[in-house]
Amino acid sequence: MSGKSISEHGKETLKWIQREQRENGLGMVESTKVPDQNALRFLLRKSDVYEPQQGMIKSSVEPEDEESCISEFPDHKPWVWRTPKPKKKGDVPEPYEFLSYPDWNALSNAVAEALRTMGFADAPYLHDGYSYRKMAGGALRRKMIGTYSKEEMLAELKFKEDMTDEELAKFEANIDNVIGEYRGKSKQVSEVLCPGIVYYPKDSSFSVQEKPKKEN
DSSP state of 84: P
Strand, coil or helix: 70: helix
Choose among 73, 40, 39: nearest CA to 55.
40
Distance CA 171, CA 175 (A): 6
Distance CA 73, CA 81 (A): 8
pLDDT at 134: 94
Query: Peptide bond preceding 78: is omega within 30 degrees of 0, i.e. cis?
Result: yes
Distance CA 198, CA 146 (A): 8
pLDDT at 115: 95
pLDDT at 68: 46
Task: Tell if the pTM clears 0.75, that is, is over it.
Answer: no
Choose among 115, 105, 102, 131: nearest CA to 202.
131
Torsion sign across C-alpha atoms 46, 50, 55, 56: negative
Domain residue extents for the chain: 6-59, 69-143, 150-208
Distance CA 197, CA 185 (A): 20
pLDDT at 133: 94
pLDDT at 214: 52
**What is the pLDDT tens value at each position of the chain, 216 positions in all?**
356 788 888 888 988 888 888 777 677 888 888 989 999 999 998 888 888 888 888 888 766 544 444 456 777 889 998 888 777 777 778 889 999 999 999 999 999 999 999 999 888 999 989 999 999 889 999 999 888 898 888 887 777 777 788 888 888 898 888 888 887 676 667 778 777 788 888 888 988 776 555 555
pLDDT at 187: 67
pLDDT at 188: 66
- How far is residue 12 from each of residues 21, 36, 211, measured CA to CA in Å? 14, 9, 58
φ, ψ of residue 110 in degrees (nearest 5)? -65, -45
pLDDT tens, residue by residue, 111-158: 999 999 999 988 899 998 999 999 988 999 999 988 889 888 888 777
DSSP H or E segment with residue 199: strand 197-200
